[in-house]
Amino acid sequence: MVKAIVLSGGSGSRMKSKTKKQYMLLQGKPLIYYSLHTFCESSVDEVILVASPEDMEYCQKEIIDKYSLYKVKTIAPAGSERYESVYNGLKAVGSADVVLVHDGARPFVTTDMIERSVETAEKFGSAICAMPVKDTIKTADKNCVVTSTPDRSTLWQIQTPQTFSYPLLTECYEKIMSTDPTGITDDAMIVERASDKKIHLIEGSYTNIKVTTPEDMAVAEAFLRLSQGI
């Protein structure tokens, strides 16, 4: 059994809009629709949407029901932090062999990414979509003084979905949530901190962007038109 958790609980403060970014319209449909639709088109058996409590009714009526997203079986409440939202999603999963965690603000996930993620996680226990960085990266101190230049060939830009054995991810989350999750920014960090399991990267796509700012919405519009041949 393969299940997916799609996160839609962010406030979108950097978007500078009264509408949360995941519900802003992209060619007439809410941004969150695109990733949910792709998961429904994939081999994933069930999708759990994680949304802010005040948005759950809207998500059910205006997104899930309106667009017949039939694999979205459950809406779980988001927490105040990303890791709390994922943990709530994991509890709503119930049982599964493999679970994918995806940021709903990444509308251009593909079924190919999903299928390769599941296949790799079934084999190794984990699969993180990522792409090699294109730019030189510097580390700096609090005064913005460069401290080092990491070897670019070893650096990857991490994306979602992040896919794991469900028992592994659940066990790791329970360990971390009972201690101190400070500084956790993605699910791989949970597994890194709470186990000795190796994290496996698979290639995502440079179009698999996370929409965060108004400029990102313009890029997303361009990517969508390009995919439609417009």
Q: How would DSSP label each residue in 79-102?
A: -SSHHHHHHHHHHHH-S-SEEEEE
Q: Is the peptide bond before 161 cis (omega within 30 degrees of 0)?
A: yes
Q: What is the pLDDT of residue 19?
A: 78
Q: What is the pLDDT of residue 17?
A: 66
Residue 27 and residue 34: Cα distance in Å, rounded?
A: 11
Give residue 56's pLDDT.
95
Other C-beta atoms closer than 10 Å to the C-beta of 43 total 11
| Structure confidence at residue 11 as a pLDDT band (50, 70, 90) | low
The domain that holds 195 is classified in CATH as: 3.90.550.10
The CA distances from residue 97 to 2, 157, 167, 174, in Å, are 6, 27, 7, 17
Predicted confidence at residue 228, as pLDDT, reads 77
Among candidate residues 127, 46, 53, the one with its CA nearest the CA of residue 94: 46
pLDDT for residue 222: 93
**Around Cβ 188, how many Cβ atoms within 10 Å?**
23
117 is in which domain, residue-wise?
2-227
Question: Is the Cα dihedral 207, 205, 116, 76 positive or negative?
Answer: negative
The C-alpha angle with vertex 178 and arms to 4 and 11, in degrees rounded to 5, equals 50
For residue 92, is pLDDT > 90? yes
Instruction: Answer yes or no: is pLDDT of 172 > 70.
Output: yes
φ, ψ (nearest 5 deg) of residue 149:
-125, 100
Give the sign of the dihedral formed by CA 7, CA 11, CA 15, CA 17. positive
Interhelix angle 166-177/82-93, rounded to 10 degrees, is 130
Instruction: Please say if the pLDDT value at position 189 is more than 80.
Output: yes
Which pLDDT score is estimated for 139?
Answer: 96
The 10s digit of each residue's pLDDT in 113-169 is: 999 999 999 999 999 999 999 999 999 999 999 999 999 999 999 999 999 999 999
- Tokens 């054995």 -> residue: 165
Total domains, the chain: 1
In three-state secondary structure terms, 104 is coil
CB 29 within 8 A of CB 67: yes
Instruction: Report whether pLDDT(183) > 90.
Output: no
